[in-house]
Amino acid sequence: MTATSILGKPTSRIDGRAKVTGAAKYAAEHNVPELAHGFVVTSAIAKGRIAQIDMADALAVDGVIAVFTHSNRPKMAASHEKYSDDVAPAGKPFRPLYDDRICFSFQPIALVVAEEPEIARFAASLLHIDYEQEPHETDFEKQRDHAFVFKGDGENHSHKRGKADKAFADAPVKVAAEYRMEVEHHNPMEMFGATAVWEGDGRITVHDKTQGPVNCRDYLANVFGMKADELRVLNPYVGGAFGSGLRPQYELPLAVLAARALKRSVRVTLTRQQMFGLGYRAGNIQSLKLGAERDGRLTSFAHEFIGMTSQFEAFQRTCVAWSSQLYKCANTDLVQKLVRLDQNSPCDMRAPGGCEGVYAIECAMDELSYAANIDPLELRLVNYSDRDQMEDKPYSSKELRECYRQAAERFGWSKRNPRPRSMKDGHELVGWGMASGIWEAMQLEASARAVLGANGSLEIASATADIGPGTYTMMAQLGAELMGVPLDNVTVKLGDSDLPQAPVEGGSFTTASVGSAIAAACRAVQKDLLRVAQKAAGSPLKGAKFADVEFADGRIRRKDGGAEVSFADAMRAGKLDRIEKEASAAPNDKSKFAHYTHSAIFAEVKIDEELGVIRVTRVVNAVAAGRILNPKIAGSQILGAIVGGIGMALHEETLTDHRFGRFMVHNLADYHVPVNADVHGIEVIFVDEQDDEINPLGVKGVGEIGIVGTAAAIANAIYHATGKRVRDLPITIDKVMRA
């Protein structure tokens, strides 16, 4: 530790100035000589085949270079497996421009390449496309009876303990309810784009909007039969993603396809409308049955989740297990099912599985609290679990009780009148609701490089991405702290597939994964530095073991307060101008503990009784996430996630016109997200939590935990305000008025 530690202090983003001044360049902002522009043409039907594409009029436009379709595209991999990637679900991944089959509306079917983007877009409108249309099915509700349990992904999504049906029948207090969510789309600020730079020797450098440059490079190598060292994917700046960029999107292979065919640089950028043809948070139906004793103790917990997926992949994430991590119950029946539709595959969206599953679980718990006439917070404490009942493991740390206490105290929960419709502020009904939050505290294998210069400079590098959570700053802070140099001495390199390998950025595991690798790399540099320091004539560190010294303020010093040697003197003695080390870190797969983050969310809503207008006026969220390296940036993550939770609860939905199998909503005018007027008081509390087992840094991720449970807390507050239980998200004015 340095004499003046920077970890745990609110530090501003080191990349902030580049972003606010426009110096940061995004995927579609890299201009290169002789750059051509591609515009994607997408399918107007949901299912069938392309009978013919007449390209004559488009090719006749001055400035058009080429039109690529399934009929004339360059060679691509034939095997579906070649199109897979690190986060692909089970099944056969979609292959853009591969053949004449149409699997979903908005499917890319042609790429028009021209000298200017406006020319490409105009020429694309001149393509004449004939289809042979087939009957499609996009109505989730109608296909509900065809739901099936999918076990082909190797995950155990379902779970049974005891005799849930009998326990429910015998329970004196019962709740049975069904909850629904509509499809949601990510809508990050930056649209997907790829600039494929033709290097002249067959190599291609791609600037892509992605959460995983290594994942994309390997995907491209497989699709085009190229060597990994013939490709380089860069994404140093990403304008938001929320999970939409975990998998390679189709602009990436299309840009590379065109660049290889034309032997020149090509950029492909999607429109906002085309963004709605990508992955999405799947709509779902959840049925829950809870039985309890009169004191609120759970005796039965049944949860059936039905989600949607495509015809060609089976996308699902853990949705029903969370109750067994939060609450003690001997009798459970948890099952997940899927319905296949003629749509593109869903994909991960912030806190996938947890966000959806915990919404229904926490609303059902709220309903149980009213049925048992027990305070909602007290009900959760009565059923508090110290073990993960799915894995039968204790938690490495779980400060959820303290989260409940601190958040309830800050919110003023003790002043709540428990009777619905009992609290008012002028003409508005006031409602208070709460919920629990939980998310996995994961770590994946990752690598990092540390380079110490003789002048005290430190470079930290890893191929990870920064989609907005502050990864640049995290890497710099860790490097400065662990190496013992000022923060201003540290430079960070990331977002480059040529750097030490790292997984996609997602799942709230980047800090634990890459951070642990940084710690290992810095430790390796320190060991070399100590060795050269000890070789100097008359070195005061002779005989000192690594455990006997600390690295702080640019010096190696004995912990007992004895002698010290500056980094510069040590490197001068070793005749070195730099020490460079690369290291990897992996999770402890044999851990006897379960690893999770937890939170307690309390929300206040005010509702105009005549108009039904809902305002979320206050949210307090207390989070236990291990060691918080930077409360400013971590707090920003929770704030943003809470805003996403408000959107989930009140605004966001993508509706489908089943006559055409097409999303009706495909722009930001119709897809509603929270704006400044929708966001009022939000307070974030980080609860102290020490976890020496989870990883060397004791950290857990915070990217997802802020959204988990937020929609449930708001829905529960709406019931408390109105006495009306709306179980379908989003909770809009019309639903409240007619409930």
Query: What CATH code is carried by the domain that includes residue 124?
Result: 3.90.1170.50
Question: What is the average per-residue pLDDT within 12-19?
Answer: 96
Separation between Cα atoms, residue 641 and residue 621, nearest integer Å = 11
Q: Where are the alpha helices (DSSP H) in 7-49?
A: 16-21
Q: Is residue 6 part of a domain?
A: no
Please tell me whether residues 291 and 397 are part of one structural domain: yes
Q: Which residues contact 585 (CB under 8 A, 6 or more apart)?
A: 443, 445, 446, 447, 513, 516, 517, 519, 520, 695, 696
Cβ atoms of residues 213 and 197 within 8 Å? no
Contact 393, 387 (CB under 8 A): yes
The answer to whether residues 157 and 321 touch, using CB atoms and an 8 Å cutoff, is yes
Name 733's Cβ contacts closer than 8 Å, sequence gap at least 6: 611, 612, 613, 614
- Residue 98 falls within a domain, yes or no? yes
User: Does the pLDDT at position 224 exceed 80?
Assistant: yes
φ and ψ of 500, to 5 deg? -50, 135
pLDDT confidence of residue 549:
95
* Interval 252-290: pLDDT, tens: 999 999 999 999 999 999 999 999 999 999 999 999 999
* pLDDT of 3 above 60: no
- State how far the Cα of 494 lies from the Cα of 483, in Å rounded to an integer: 19
Provide the pLDDT confidence category of residue 2 given band limits of 50, 70 and 90.
very low
Name the 3-class secondary structure at 618: strand
Contact 469, 514 (CB under 8 A): no
Q: Is the dihedral of CA 692, 693, 696, 701 positive or negative?
A: negative
Percent of the chain whose predicted confidence (pLDDT) is above 90: 96
What is the tens place of the pLDDT at every residue in 713-728?
A: 999 999 999 999 999 9
**Which one of 245, 275, 305 terminates a domain?**
275
**Under 8 Å CB-to-CB from 156, ≥6 apart: which residues?**
390
* Mean pLDDT across the chain: 96
Percent of the chain with pLDDT over 70: 99
Residues 197 and 85 in one domain: yes
Q: How many CB atoms lie within 10 A of CB 33?
A: 8
Backbone angles phi, psi at 22, to 5 degrees: 85, 5
> What's the token pair of residue 77?
């991999």
Judge residue 282's burial from the number of C-beta atoms within 10 Å of its C-beta, 0-12 exposed, 13-18 middle, 19 or more buried. Answer: buried
Q: Convert 72-109 into a string of H (helix), E (strand) and C (coil).
A: CCCCCCCCHHHHCCCCCCEECCCCCCCCCEECCCCCEE
Residue (of 617, 642, 624) closest to 709 by Cα position:
642
Which residues does 501 contact at the CB level (< 8 Å), separation at least 6?
Answer: 214, 446, 447, 463
For the chain, what is the total number of helices (H) and then of strands (E)?
A: 17, 34
Quick check: 46 and 102 in contact, CB under 8 A? yes
Same domain membership, residue 477 and residue 431: no
| pLDDT at 1 (0 to 100) | 39
CATH code of residue 353: 3.30.365.10
What is the model's pLDDT at position 584?
A: 98
386 within 8 A of 398, measured Cβ to Cβ:
yes
pLDDT of residue 739: 83
Residue 5 has pLDDT above 90, yes or no: no
Do 620 and 730 lie in one domain? The reply is yes
100 found inside a domain: yes
Last residue of a domain, one of 260, 275, 290: 275
Active site residue 199: no
Q: Is residue 495 part of a domain?
A: yes
Q: Could you tell me which residues are beta bridge partners of residue 184? A: 281
Question: What's the first-to-final CA gap in the chain, in angstroms?
Answer: 58
At residue 386 the predicted structure's pLDDT band, cuts being 50, 70 and 90, is: very high
- Distance (Å, whole) CA 702 – CA 633: 10
Element (H or E) spanning 219, and its range? helix 213-224
d(CA 332, CA 301): 5
Same domain, 513 and 635: no
Local structure of 644: helix, strand or coil: helix
User: Domain check: are 599 and 665 in the same one?
Assistant: yes
pLDDT, position 562: 75
Q: In this structure, are residues 34 and 114 in contact, taking their beta carbons and an 8 Å threshold?
A: no
Q: Residue 616 in contact with residue 601, Cβ under 8 Å?
A: no
Euclidean distance between CA atoms 366 and 427, whole angstroms: 26
Provide the pairing of β-strand 231-234 with 204-208: parallel
Q: What is the pLDDT of residue 334?
A: 98
pLDDT band at 526 (very low <50, low <70, confident <90, very high): very high
For residue 4, the model assigns a pLDDT of: 62
> What does pTM read for this prediction?
0.97
**434 shares its domain with 456:** no
- Please answer whether residues 518 and 481 qualify as being in contact, where contact means their C-beta atoms are separated by less than 8 angstroms: no
> Is residue 154 assigned to a domain?
no
Residue 136, both tokens: 């499609």
Tell me which of 258, 275, 292 is where a domain ends.
Answer: 275
Same domain, 244 and 287: no
Spot the catalytic one: 137, 190, 582, 704: 704
How many domains does the chain fold into?
Answer: 3
Domain containing 397: what range? 159-165+280-442+591-738
- Nearest CA among 469, 471, 470 for reference residue 461: 471
Is residue 475 situated within a structural domain?
Answer: yes
* Interatomic CA distance for residues 253 and 261, integer angstroms: 12
Which of the four pLDDT bands, split at 50, 70 and 90, describes residue 155?
A: confident
| Lowest-pLDDT choice from 309-318, 554-563, 629-638, 714-723 | 554-563
Q: Is residue 5 part of a domain?
A: no
Which tokens sit at 655? 């509706």
What is the residue type of 509? F
With vertex at residue 83, the alpha carbon angle to CA 81 and CA 86, rounded to the nearest 5 degrees, is 90
Same domain as 351, residue 324? yes
DSSP string, 139-167: -TTTTGGG-B---TTS----EEES-HHHH
Rounded to whole angstroms, how far apart are CA atoms 10 and 7? 8
φ and ψ of 344, to 5 deg:
-65, 160
Contact 646, 606 (CB under 8 A): no
In the chain, the amino acid numbered 188 is: P
Residue 83, strand partner residues: none
Distance CA(373)–CA(379), nearest Å, equals: 10
Spell out where 515-636 has E strands. 549-552, 555-558, 564-566, 578-585, 596-608, 614-624
Do 326 and 423 fall into the same domain? yes
Element spanning 475, H or E: helix 471-483
Q: In whole angstroms, what is the distance from residue 584 CA to residue 515 CA?
A: 10
pLDDT of residue 536: 83
> Is residue 420 located within the same domain as residue 566?
no
In a domain, 1, yes or no: no
Q: Residue 385: pLDDT band by 50, 70, 90 thresholds?
A: very high
CA distance linking residue 205 with residue 219, whole number of Å: 14
Residues 624 and 728 in one domain: yes
